[in-house]
Structure 1
Amino acid sequence: MPEGKPAGVPCIQLDSQRRCKLYGLPERPRVCVEFGADAAVCGESREQAMRWLGWPKR
């Protein structure tokens, strides 16, 4: 997404199971590479993670 990605909008590089198609590839954006997901951020579910990140429920 050359112009960036709005908050709450899924990345176009996610597959149908919400896994990154660029994971481990040099094309993966730096912001994604540097994001350190851990239990404090992700919680115990996708819903908790989205709430922590401040994404509105859709």
Structure 2
Amino acid sequence: MNCRLGCVLCCIAPSITSVIPGMPKGKPAGVRCIQLNDDNFCMIFGLPDRPDVCAEFSASIDACGTTNEQALWLITDLESSTC
């Protein structure tokens, strides 16, 4: 499965505990990553500063569903069940 262009819910819904440039303590769930630009593109994509958890994420029907609304629900549910 390919990511839906502009969705970026994987950069908003889950918490990330790794250091992110500009977010030294990571980011809480539901907070937009500071590295997303106004066009919803990751400004550190492919760079060594990008957290491993981000680089290792792959879009899947289980996490992303078929719509952005489903992705928000699925990723939020996954986040709450792993806390």
TM-score (norm 2): 0.57
Distance 1:17 1:2 in 2: 23
Q: Could you say what secondary structure the match of 1:8 adopts?
A: coil
Structure 1: which 5+ runs fail to align? none
Q: C-alpha offsets along residues 1-56 of structure 1, whole Å, 9 cap, x if unaligned?
A: 2101000001000011222111111111111112222232111222211110117x
Distance 2:50 2:36 in 1: 12
Residue 53 of structure 2 corresponds to residue 34 of structure 1: no
Amino acid of the residue matched to residue 35 of structure 2? Q
TM-score (norm 1): 0.77
| Paired residues for 1:1-58 under 5 Å | 1-54=23-76
Alignment identity in percent?
51
Structure 2: which 5+ runs fail to align? 1-22, 78-83
Q: Structure 1 runs of 4+ off > 6 angstroms?
A: none
Amino acid of the residue matched to residue 10 of structure 1? R
